[in-house]
Amino acid sequence: MSVESDIELVKRQELELALGAFDEDVAFALGASVRERALAEGLGLVVDVRSWDRQMFFAATAGTSADNAEWVRRKINTVRRFQRASYRMVLERGEVPFPPQSGADPAEFVIAGGGFPIRVKGAGIIGCLTISGLPGRKDHAVAVDAFCDHLQVDRADYTLPTG
C-alpha cells in the first residue's frame, strides 16, 4: 500500500473508532486491555489514557524506562494540538522534528506513532490513548486494536498493512 492509502485508513480509524461515551471506566478498560496484551505478548510498553484535563490510566510493563513516559507526554501534546493520530503526522510529514517556525518545540512535541485521539460521538476529540515502547507503526497498531476490541469491531477492517 502507498503512504496515501495508509493516511486514508488512519483518517478512517480516527473517525470510525469513536466512543459512545468516555469516563473512568472506559479509560480503565482501554488501558487495562493494552496492559494485558503487553503482558501476554511480552511487550515492553507504556500506556496512558486521558481526557484533556487529566490522566485516567497509566501503566508501564517491564522493559520500559522514564524515556517512554516522556515520549508519551510529547505524543499527547501532538495529538492535542493537531487533532489527529500522531502516526498520521508521521505519514504526512515524516518522522522529523517540527521546524522552529511551527512554534511546536521538539522538547514538547514529537512526530512519532502511538498517540491516538479519543473521539466521542457528538463531542469530538476529548483526549487520547497513547502507547510508547515499540516502533511507531506498532505503537499505533496497539492503540487501534484496543479501540477495535472495545468497540467490538473487526481489527482486520482497521489494520494497516505490515511493512
Span 28-65, pLDDT tens digits: 999 999 999 999 999 999 999 999 999 999 999 999 99
**Three-state secondary structure call for residue 146:** helix
The strand ranges marked E within 61-114 are: none
**What are 151's strand-pairing partners?**
none
DSSP state, residue 19: B
pLDDT for 98: 85
Ordered by start, the domain boundaries in the chain are: 3-157
Beta-carbon contacts of residue 162 (< 8 Å; ≥ 6 apart): none
Cα–Cα dist 88/116, whole Å: 9
Q: 119: helix, coil or strand?
A: strand
Whole-prediction pTM: 0.95
Mean pLDDT computed over 130-140: 97
Q: What is the structure's pLDDT at 34?
A: 98
Under CATH, to which class is 3-157 assigned? alpha beta
The number of residues making up the chain comes to: 163
Q: What is the pLDDT of residue 1?
A: 64
C-alpha distances (whole Å) from 92 to each of 81, 117, 162 are: 15, 16, 18
Rounded Cα distance, 3 and 151, in Å: 26
User: DSSP 3-state assignment of 47?
Assistant: strand
Helix (H) or strand (E) holding 101: none
**Rounded percentage of the chain residues whose pLDDT exceeds 90:** 92
Pull the grid cell for residue 92.
Answer: 504526512
